[in-house]
Amino acid sequence: MRLLFVGDVVGRSGRSMLRQHLERLIEEHGIELAVVNGENAAGGWGLTPDTAEELFAAGADVITLGNHWADRKEILPYLERTDRVLRPCNWPGDPPGRGAVVVEGRSGCKVGVVCLHGRVFAPALLDDPFSAADRVLEELRGHTAAVLVDIHGDATSEKQALAWYLDGRASAVLGTHTHTPTADERILPGGTAAVTDVGMTGPRDAVIGFRPDLVIRRLRTQLHVPLEVASGPRVLCGVIVDVDPETGRAWGIERVRLEEE
């Protein structure tokens, strides 16, 4: 079976790109399940119930989040009502929502989806993502052999290390958060598909999705300059992973990049 994962959707630009292309990608590639990172879908920060519903209407089956998962307070009760929007499962305390789910794909195959957050360059309060992955994968054992993990984090080393740690236990370990796609997609020896960062879906002529002039001003002055999602041509970044539904082992991973002229 084929799984599609779309990288961080940024603002209205990313949402419109998803609406325009996701269903076609699903149909053309025979996608069993489409997972979308919606971390920045609402104006560049977080997710709202309305933007979540927009992503689902565009064709997403599961939405994963990241460090901005709770930025929009209206999303908190929504997370209690749905099992298809996932916040990081290694967030400390007892946050609303859930960090993993098993869902049925378009032909009835069951797929587990897990959302994790890295600790390197992140708040020290986060729980260990490696231990959290151990716990969640043990909970999913017996429900499905196919598991896709979204590891949201800054450090390439941490995301790569997690992929190696989960090699043979997860079907795919896919990095998000930096909004910059890496060209290291591969199948690890144990059958886990991995890529350090999938990239983003949103404005192409931008600095991680935001207006370059504002980002430059913030970096040069070290002052808090409010950022805005950029406009102009759009890009969609993702990966397609081929997985044996019986064993959960991946046998193919391919980057997807759609870009407007």
Six-digit token string for 252:
């193919």
- For 43-199, strand residue ranges (E) read 62-64, 85-86, 100-104, 110-117, 147-152, 172-176, 186-187, 193-195
Closest by CA to 194, choosing from 174, 180, 170, is: 174
Listed in sequence order, the DSSP H helices in 33-118 are 49-58, 75-81
- Hey, what amino acid is at 75? I
Pick the catalytic residue: 68, 117, 177, 179? Answer: 68
Q: Does residue 84 contact residue 103 with C-beta atoms inside 8 Å?
A: yes
Listed in sequence order, the DSSP H helices in the chain are 11-29, 49-58, 75-81, 129-140, 156-165, 212-221
The CA distance from 237 to 179, in Å, is 9
Q: Does residue 32 contact residue 106 with C-beta atoms inside 8 Å?
A: yes
Active site residue 68: yes
First to last CA, the chain: 32
Q: Which residues are catalytic?
A: 68
